[in-house]
């Protein structure tokens, strides 16, 4: 029997595994970097072991350090979670060699499926050889990676060499392996996967299907189970292929087999030899705890001959600290408040007041809804996200709500190109027009002993707020009966709650302020000074860091005096496991370059200056 589990991971997945361990009466051990010293997973575990440093390479990716932590803490098993070392055969072998239980597939199975090229060979498939015009478009992919790293779409033959070089560099940096391969790129295909669970007695379950087509940068955003609109024949084929892949490597534990589906044709993509981020939708549909099953299988228990029946539909949305309107730029800062209404499942690694740093993935939480039908589950999830309180850095919450209510999604007509087609519309600013007024009235409450009223006419009070890229000026007056604004009745106003009436419709606004940040219902505002600082300006053509991160590359041959084209990539920043291109804002001349590979930069740091040609 397993009595104590070390989770070789952090954040949401560590907290998720701990929850099941507590239910089973199993003691828990966390590992934490210096950046995670006060993180939720560190606080929730029965025991926690420090991994000195902050960078993943010296903490969560140091297998020897984690094995030592497990032995020092008296753990008898290791759960890898997902990401980091979860699909590292060498780490699995080191855990077993230390006499610990490995909660996952054998090192041999991990090795067999670790390379996408080897996995395809096991399935009787092969990547493209020499690429011709007839093969376009194609997808360049890292053989050893995932999560969108080392992946490029190529639509023109003359772009292939640059894409191969770029993908190799990113793959080598992210996974320590620069091998890439090329396969056909299926336009408007759907990303569909099958959850498998296998024991040591020869039983393999195929637990339905999941659709993960809504993706940004090849990373999933919204997932659901079962995948809508698949024929019974295609579903049976996907199940059979998934079981075949598992049996080909004598798989044990939880895993996922992924496909690209076009019409009624399925193309094998890869097998993930670990638990997936989106596993909760399968759990809710089948009524199973996949982590509990992982532990039982590791203890040698047998699965039932057949999986439990599926019931209803589940949808999951990933809440990220990122700005979709600014090329998905990750955001940092303090998460002041995170609260989601009841009726949905919340998996998170954060609580109120936690800091969001630059070292790790920017996912804050997963919100999952289950209902008898797909339409009911989608409506429930969209409503819960819309009513959620998320105070702190910019998030993708509004994008998630709009995506769930988009006609392509509600009609189950989505594919992997969904955000390529619709991102501009889904991120178009739509602030509540009365949010700035509510913020101003709440801010004014109590500032004057006499409520600001004067017995003679006076100039209106003026306050300015930024909502996204737009500035809003608010004007209101104090009267004998309280504040008033043109066309709006102020029924109530205090520091945290404002009630307004317009055209006979009454609306209530909940207001919270954290320094210059103001949250009004679902709208995030920034309080601006009454008179802007005339010195706070940069020269035209200045390029600044959109987020804190590390400069990983500068374009070959780029130097001060170089001629550049509009949109030309100049340098690349890495932050929160994602790579971000900094491009020229116009055709012209690079007059200044303040960045070099390996340099750490803060948000707003000046990176380069381009003097436009005109």
The answer to whether the beta carbons of residues 114 and 143 sit under 8 Å apart is no
Establish if 428 belongs to a structural domain. Answer: no
Domain shared by 119 and 13, yes or no: no
- Work out the burial of residue 145: count CB atoms within 10 Å of its CB; fewer than 13 is exposed, 13-18 middle, 19 or more buried: buried
Q: In terms of domains, do 78 and 222 share one?
A: no
Helices (H), ranges, 290-330: 290-298
What local confidence, expressed as pLDDT, does residue 601 receive? Answer: 85
Give yes or no: residues 410 and 492 share one domain: no
Has residue 518 been placed in a domain? yes
User: DSSP label at 477?
Assistant: E
pLDDT at 156: 92
Q: Which domain holds residue 62?
A: 4-103
Q: What is the pLDDT of residue 148?
A: 72
**Residues 180 and 194 both lie in one domain:** no
Tell me whether the omega of the peptide bond preceding residue 214 falls within 30 degrees of 0, making it cis: no
Looking at residue 379, the DSSP 8-state letter turns out to be H
Residue 609, CA atoms < 13 Å, CB-side half-sphere = 7
Does 534 map to a domain? no
Residues serving a catalytic function are 274
Which of 60, 79, 103 is at the close of a domain? 103
Q: Which of 141, 162, 184 is the last residue of a domain?
A: 184
Q: Mark whether 145 and 210 lie in a shared domain.
A: no
Same domain, 383 and 493: no
- Indicate which CATH number applies to the domain containing 233: 3.30.470.20
Query: Any idea what the CATH number is for the domain that residue 585 is in?
Result: 2.40.50.100
Answer yes or no: do 197 and 174 share one domain. no
Strands in 538-587 per DSSP E: 542-544, 549-554, 563-564, 569-575, 578-583
Q: Are residues 452 and 415 in the same domain?
A: no
**Cα–Cα distance between 307 and 239 in angstroms, integer?**
12
Q: Are residues 321 and 342 in the same domain?
A: yes
Look up the CATH number of the domain holding residue 165: 3.30.1490.20
Domain count, the chain: 5
Q: What is the mean pLDDT of each run of 10 residues along the chain (614 residues)?
A: 98 98 98 97 98 94 98 98 96 98 97 82 76 89 76 91 89 80 86 98 98 94 98 97 95 96 91 96 98 98 97 98 93 95 96 94 96 98 97 96 98 95 94 93 70 55 88 85 82 94 94 95 89 58 84 89 91 77 90 89 87 86
Answer yes or no: do 273 and 403 share one domain. Answer: yes
| Rounded CA Rg of the chain | 26
Q: Is 99 exposed, middle or buried (0-12, 13-18, 19+ CB in 10 A)?
A: exposed
pTM: 0.86
Single residue among 399, 422, 445 that ends a domain in this structure: 422
CATH at 64:
3.40.50.20
Which CATH number does the domain housing residue 464 bear?
3.30.700.40
Please report the pLDDT score of residue 56 as a whole number: 92
| 501 CB neighbour count, 10 Å cutoff | 12
Nearest to 197 by CA among 111, 87, 88, 274: 274
- What does DSSP assign to residue 326? G
How many other CB atoms sit within 10 Å of the CB of residue 539? 11
Residue 235 lies in a domain: yes
**Same domain for 207 and 328?**
yes
Instruction: Identify whether residues 13 and 131 lie together within a single domain.
Output: no
> Is residue 241, in this structure, part of any structural domain at all?
yes
Q: What b-and-e string marks burial along 32-63, b requiring 16 or more CB atoms within 10 Å of the CB?
A: bbebbeebbbbebbebbbbbebbebeebbbbb
CB 33 within 8 A of CB 7: no
Residue 94 confidence (pLDDT): 98
The answer to the question of residue 537 being in a domain is no
Q: What's the pLDDT at 450? A: 41
Give me the pLDDT at residue 62, please.
97
Does 536 reside within a domain?
no
In a domain, 35, yes or no: yes
């Amino acid at each position: 029997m397993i009595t104590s589990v070390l989770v070789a991971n952090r954040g949401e997945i560590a907290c998720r595994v701990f929850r099941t361990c507590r239910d089973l009466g199993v003691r828990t051990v966390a590992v934490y970097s210096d950046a995670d010293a006060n993180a939720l997973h560190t606080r929730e575990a029965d025991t926690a072991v420090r991994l000195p440093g902050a960078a993943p390479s010296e903490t969560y990716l140091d297998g020897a350090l984690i094995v030592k932590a497990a032995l020092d803490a008296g753990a008898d098993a290791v759960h890898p979670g997902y990401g980091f070392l979860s699909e590292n055969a060498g780490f699995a072998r080191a855990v077993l060699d230390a006499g610990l239980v490995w909660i996952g597939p054998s090192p041999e199975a991990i090795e067999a499926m670790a390379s996408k090229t080897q996995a395809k060979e096991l399935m009787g498939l092969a990547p493209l050889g020499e690429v011709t015009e007839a093969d376009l478009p194609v997808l360049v992919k890292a053989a050893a990676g995932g999560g969108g790293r080392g992946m490029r779409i190529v639509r023109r033959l003359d772009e292939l060499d640059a894409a191969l070089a770029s993908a190799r560099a990113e793959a080598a940096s992210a996974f320590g392996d620069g091998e890439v391969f090329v396969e056909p790129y299926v336009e408007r295909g759907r990303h569909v996967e099958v959850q498998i669970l296998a024991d040591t007695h020869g039983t393999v379950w195929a637990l339905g299907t999941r659709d993960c087509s809504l993706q940004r940068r090849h990373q999933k955003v919204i997932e659901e189970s079962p995948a809508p609109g698949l024929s019974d024949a295609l579903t049976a084929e996907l199940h059979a292929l998934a079981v075949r892949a598992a049996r080909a490597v004598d798989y044990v534990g939880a895993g996922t087999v992924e496909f690209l589906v076009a019409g009624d044709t399925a193309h094998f993509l890869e097998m993930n030899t670990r638990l997936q981020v989106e596993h909760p939708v399968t759990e809710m549909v089948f009524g199973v705890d996949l982590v509990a099953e992982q532990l039982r299988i590791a203890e040698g228990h047998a699965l039932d001959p057949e999986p439990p029946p599926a019931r209803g539909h589940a949808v999951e949305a990933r809440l990220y600290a990122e700005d979709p309107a600014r090329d998905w730029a990750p955001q940092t800062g303090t998460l002041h408040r995170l609260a989601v209404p009841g009726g949905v499942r919340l998996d998170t690694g954060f609580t109120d007041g936690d800091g969001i740093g630059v070292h790790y993935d920017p996912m804050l939480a997963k919100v999952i809804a289950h209902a008898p039908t797909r339409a009911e589950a989608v409506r429930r999830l969209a409503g819960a996200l819309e009513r959620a309180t998320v105070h702190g850095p910019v998030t993708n919450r509004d994008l998630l709500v709009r995506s769930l209510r988009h006609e392509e999604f509600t009609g189950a007509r989505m594919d992997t190109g969904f955000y390529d087609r619709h991102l501009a519309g889904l991120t178009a600013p739509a602030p509540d027009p009365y949010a700035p007024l509510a913020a101003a009235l709440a801010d004014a409450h109590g500032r004057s002993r006499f409520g600001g009223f004067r017995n003679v006419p006076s100039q209106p009070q003026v306050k300015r707020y930024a909502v996204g890229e737009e500035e809003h000026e608010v004007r209101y007056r104090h009267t004998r009966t309280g504040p008033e604004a043109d066309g709006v009745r102020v029924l109530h106003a205090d520091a945290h709650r404002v009630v307004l009436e317009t055209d006979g419709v009454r609306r209530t606004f909940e207001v919270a302020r954290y320094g210059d940040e103001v949250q009004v219902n679902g709208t995030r505002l920034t309080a601006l000074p009454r008179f802007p600082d005339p010195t706070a300006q940069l020269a035209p053509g200045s390029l600044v860091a959109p987020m804190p991160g590390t400069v990983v590359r500068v374009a070959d041959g780029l130097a001060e005096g170089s001629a550049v084209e509009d949109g030309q990539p100049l340098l690349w920043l890495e932050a929160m496991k994602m790579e971000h291109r900094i491009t020229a804002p116009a055709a012209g001349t690079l007059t200044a370059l303040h960045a070099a590979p390996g340099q750490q930069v803060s948000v707003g740091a000046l990176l380069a200056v381009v003097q436009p040609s005109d």
